[in-house]
Structure 1
Amino acid sequence: MNAIESTVMLLAFAMLRYLPVLAIPALSPLSWAPAMVRIALLLALAWLTVLASPAAFIATPRAFDAATVLLGCTSELLLGLTFGLAILLPQAGMGFAARLADMQAGLSAASLFNPGGQHEPESMLGTIVLLAATVLFFSLDLHLQLFRLLTGSVQVLPLGALGIRLDLDGFFGMVGSGFLLGMAVVAPVIIGLFAVDMAVAYATRSMPQANVYFLALPLKVAVALMLLAMTLAFAPMLMGRLYEDAFARLPMVIGG
């Protein structure tokens, strides 16, 4: 295989490494961008990554048989999916915690009266938290840190080197840390609503003839929104820590 064919193969490997983070909406921080913009960025980053590789690594002819190409593509795609988990797991942790607060506040019952919901439950607090997380992800330059880690991974795991070793302990550690820190984002809301539930339970025992649940529902919604507004003042530190912890655990997940 000559140098041109080797360069084309390395370009394909680089595209597969960047593909999950740039093209798959659930794993990409740029899911809001048009598809053509993400594809152009994918091609540009892959080409720059190949150009930044050592010249001897590109010029050296390499034997790429069918098995090597298949294993190389699989390895690069798995590596890109692993970096995508650093975006997906923090969002899943925050979304799960916000949905829990939604259920506790009674906001999840609003989906029953939404004729356009098509039986898909919507989380009001989850939408607010995830929108705030998206804004902060770019405001804190965490996207630059993500792409810096992706480009730096070429120095540790060269393109098509088949050196990735996924570590289950590191993966489960990332999952547990993501959901734990995600719960910390809305913990004041959950604790405050628990106190309101205790007061409502006491009122129910004192006045069993009154339908206290529907009387207390507007109060719980108001308390949830007030506590969420107070919590979002500390959101940059908590959400930034959530993403940075996921980035710090990436080397353990890929066996580095």
Structure 2
Amino acid sequence: MGAIESLAAVFGLAFLRYLPPIALPAFTPLRWAPPLVRIVLALGLAWLTVLALPASSMSAVQQPQFNWVAAAIGELSVGLVFGLVLMLPQAALHVAGWLVDVQAGLSAATLFNPGAQGEAQSMIGAALGLLGTVLFFVLDLHLELYQALVASSMVLPLGQGGVRLDASAFFSLLGSSFLLGLAVVMPVVVALFAVDVGVAYATRAMPQANVYFLVLPLKIIVALLLMVVVLPFVPALLQRLYQDAFARVPTLLGA
């Protein structure tokens, strides 16, 4: 294999590593970028990574016994781990907003929305998702993601395998992400629970009155006002949420 073929092979392996977290995002802040922009970004990072690699990485792919199938699967596995730590914090924010919607009664708005087409929608979840997308770039968390991706090529050389995905680390990441996501809306959840206790007492005292629909506007107002109150604390919590997920990448990869 010549020098040009080796360069192209290493470039392809690097692109496979960057493809899942950048070019094919599902529920991440990067999904708002056009597909062409994401693909060009993945190609650019792959090319810069190849230029920064030592010569030993080029010589490794020139061996006759080099297993291309295993190398491609290994690179995609590393990329999927990075895509996972990018997706779970955003999903945790959406679930936390959905929980507030259910408690505040905003989930009933789907019944009166002709454009919903029977699909469950979360108003506060969507708002938190948009806020998380903005803060992801404002807090330079995207730069931390790219730096971690490039640094992974030094710790886990391209095409040389050695990836052992840890299931227990995945469940630990899942639990910590949704726990930190719940911390964003915890004051709202506690306050709405207190309102529900008062509504239950009023229902017991006045069973003939439809207290739920009478108190529903109050619960929505309380939820929206408390969301405004907790907004100043969201950037720090969101940064902690993503940084905790990024810090768990080595454990997920079996390091």
Tell me which interval the TM-score lies in, with the shorter structure as reference length.
over 0.9
Amino acid at match of 1:161: Q
Q: Which residue of 1 aligns with 2:125?
A: 126
Amino acid at match of 1:2: G
In the alignment, structure 1 residue 172 sits paired with structure 2 residue 148: no
CA distance in 2, matches of 1:98, 1:28: 16
Q: Normalised by the size of structure 1, how large is the TM-score?
A: 0.96
CA distance in 2, matches of 1:3, 1:48: 17
Structure 1 residues 16, 217: closer, same or farther in 2, change over 3 A?
same
Instruction: Number of aligned residue pairs: give it.
Output: 255
CA distance in 2, matches of 1:90, 1:98: 13
Give the superposition deviation at 1:242. Answer: 0.5
Give runs of aligned pairs for residues 87-126 of structure 1, distance below 5 A: 87-126=86-125
State the SS of the aligned residue for 2:238: helix
Q: Which residue of 2 aligns with 1:149?
A: 148
State the SS of the aligned residue for 1:26: coil
In the alignment, structure 1 residue 54 sits paired with structure 2 residue 58: no
The question of whether the paired residues in 2 share the 8 Å contact of 1:27 and 1:84 is answered with no
Give the superposition deviation at 1:101. Answer: 1.1
Give the superposition deviation at 1:60. Answer: 6.0
Structure 1 residues 60, 85: closer, same or farther in 2, change over 3 A?
closer
In the alignment, structure 1 residue 234 sits paired with structure 2 residue 245: no
The question of whether the paired residues in 1 share the 8 Å contact of 2:29 and 2:132 is answered with no
CA distance in 1, matches of 2:21, 2:182: 24
In the alignment, structure 1 residue 2 sits paired with structure 2 residue 2: yes
Q: Which residue of 1 aligns with 2:39?
A: 39
The question of whether the paired residues in 1 share the 8 Å contact of 2:10 and 2:61 is answered with no
Q: Which residue of 2 aligns with 1:29?
A: 29
CA distance in 2, matches of 1:155, 1:148: 11
Amino acid at match of 2:185: V
Stretches of structure 2 that go unaligned for 5 or more consecutive residues are none
The question of whether the paired residues in 1 share the 8 Å contact of 2:28 and 2:86 is answered with yes
State the SS of the aligned residue for 2:30: coil
Larger mean CA deviation between 51-60 and 5-14 belongs to 51-60
Q: Which residue of 2 aligns with 1:69?
A: 68
Give the superposition deviation at 1:36. Answer: 1.4
Give runs of aligned pairs for residues 165-204 of structure 1, distance below 5 A: 165-204=164-203
In the alignment, structure 1 residue 223 sits paired with structure 2 residue 218: no
Deviation string 1:149-188 (CA, Å, 9 cap, x unpaired) is 0000011100001111111121111111001101101111
The question of whether the paired residues in 1 share the 8 Å contact of 2:177 and 2:245 is answered with yes
Give the superposition deviation at 1:57. Answer: 2.7
In the alignment, structure 1 residue 255 sits paired with structure 2 residue 251: no
CA distance in 2, matches of 1:254, 1:228: 37
Give the superposition deviation at 1:87. Answer: 1.2
The question of whether the paired residues in 2 share the 8 Å contact of 1:20 and 1:28 is answered with no
Amino acid at match of 2:155: V
CA distance in 2, matches of 1:248, 1:196: 38
Deviation string 1:105-140 (CA, Å, 9 cap, x unpaired) is 100000011111121111011011111111111111
Q: Normalised by the size of structure 2, how large is the TM-score?
A: 0.96
The question of whether the paired residues in 1 share the 8 Å contact of 2:96 and 2:185 is answered with yes
Structure 1 residues 242, 60: closer, same or farther in 2, change over 3 A?
closer
Q: Which residue of 1 aligns with 2:80?
A: 81
CA distance in 1, matches of 2:104, 2:198: 14
The question of whether the paired residues in 1 share the 8 Å contact of 2:7 and 2:58 is answered with yes
Identical counterparts, % of pairs: 56
CA distance in 2, matches of 1:61, 1:84: 26
Q: Which residue of 2 aligns with 1:246?
A: 245
CA distance in 2, matches of 1:56, 1:84: 28
Amino acid at match of 1:49: T
Structure 1 residues 216, 157: closer, same or farther in 2, change over 3 A?
same
